[in-house]
């Protein structure tokens, strides 16, 4: 039985490595994801290399598979003013199932700029405006091992709702829009001392609905990226 388990772990690890080799970031020029700025003191201190970690509420924003590790309620919050202009707010929480085999999470990231000088086509100051980008995330992650499945395998996903808008002039207000996308992730322990993680952020392609639709009717793609990490325990 132990030999079979080791062989199965090797197969899963090989499959993950294969996915890492063929997965390439796909970028669609358009809408900006405010989560790219970063979330949480520890992940930021690690250069946002947090894909293979799944311990705190920050995992909502990096790899939803990490929710399968969470056994107690987790909360996170952050507020800062970037360059004294951009107000940046993060809120997140995770609530595990009673048996500890899975967990649900919710997260909000908001960035906004106020008092933006607005000019007409002649260069004359016409007033001030504001702009904000927001993303609300509903996440779920589960531990397959705790459910009697593959030991050490956790998977997760996060549905993301984007919204953006501004004020100050009709043209700014017309730029408001909203849309949906999806994050998916995997964590796997091939051994007791290593964890492999992979997460695809904004996985839905344009054709599948991963777009921001502006009030003007214009549709913009959302930048997608594939991230991988290895943690030695």
The burial class, CB within 10 Å (0-12 / 13-18 / 19+), for 106 is middle
Give per-residue pLDDT as tens, 146-161.
777 788 899 999 999 9
Rounded Cα distance between 224 and 213, Å, is 17
Q: How far apart are CA 186 and CA 200, in angstroms?
A: 9
Look up residue 122 and give its DSSP letter. Answer: T
Asked if 207 contacts 219 with a C-beta cutoff of 8 angstroms, the reply is no
Q: In Å, what is the CA distance from 231 to each residue of 61, 162, 173, 176?
A: 18, 31, 45, 40
Count of Cβ atoms closer than 10 Å to residue 48 Cβ: 18
pLDDT tens digit sequence for 185-212:
999 988 888 889 999 999 998 888 889 9
Instruction: State which residues form the domain around 225.
Output: 2-232
Instruction: State the pLDDT at residue 65.
Output: 94
> What's the total number of domains in the chain?
1
Q: 132, 110 in Cβ contact below 8 A?
A: yes
CA distance 128 to 125: 8
Smallest Cα–Cα separation from 106: which of 148, 72, 59, 147?
59
Quick check: helix, strand or coil at residue 69?
helix
Whole-number Å distance between alpha carbons of 201 and 211:
13
CA count, 13 A, side-chain hemisphere, 130: 10
pTM comes to 0.80
pLDDT digits (tens, 9 = 90+) for 170-181: 777 778 889 999
């Amino acid at each position: 039985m132990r030999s079979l388990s080791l062989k199965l772990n090797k197969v899963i690890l090989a499959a993950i490595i294969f996915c890492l080799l063929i997965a390439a970031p796909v970028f669609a020029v358009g809408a900006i994801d405010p989560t790219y700025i970063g979330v949480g003191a520890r992940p930021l201190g690690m250069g946002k290399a947090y894909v293979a970690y799944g311990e705190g509420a920050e995992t909502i924003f990096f790899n939803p598979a990490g929710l399968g590790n969470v056994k107690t309620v987790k909360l996170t919050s952050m507020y800062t003013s970037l360059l004294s202009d951009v107000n940046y707010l993060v809120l997140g929480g995770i609530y595990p199932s009673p048996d500890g085999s899975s967990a649900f999470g919710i997260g909000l990231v908001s960035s906004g700029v106020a008092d933006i000088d607005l000019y007409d086509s002649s260069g004359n100051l016409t007033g001030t405006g504001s702009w904000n980008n927001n993303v609300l995330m509903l996440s779920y992650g589960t531990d397959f091992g705790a459910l009697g499945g593959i030991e050490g395998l956790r998977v997760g996903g996060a549905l993301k709702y984007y919204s953006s808008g501004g004020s100050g002039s009709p043209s700014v207000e017309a730029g408001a829009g909203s849309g949906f996308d999806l994050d998916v992730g995997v964590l796997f322990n091939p051994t007791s001392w290593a964890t492999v993680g992979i997460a695809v952020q904004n996985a839905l392609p344009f054709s599948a609905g991963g777009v921001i639709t502006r009030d003007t009717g214009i549709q913009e793609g959302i930048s997608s990226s594939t991230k991988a990490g290895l943690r030695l325990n």
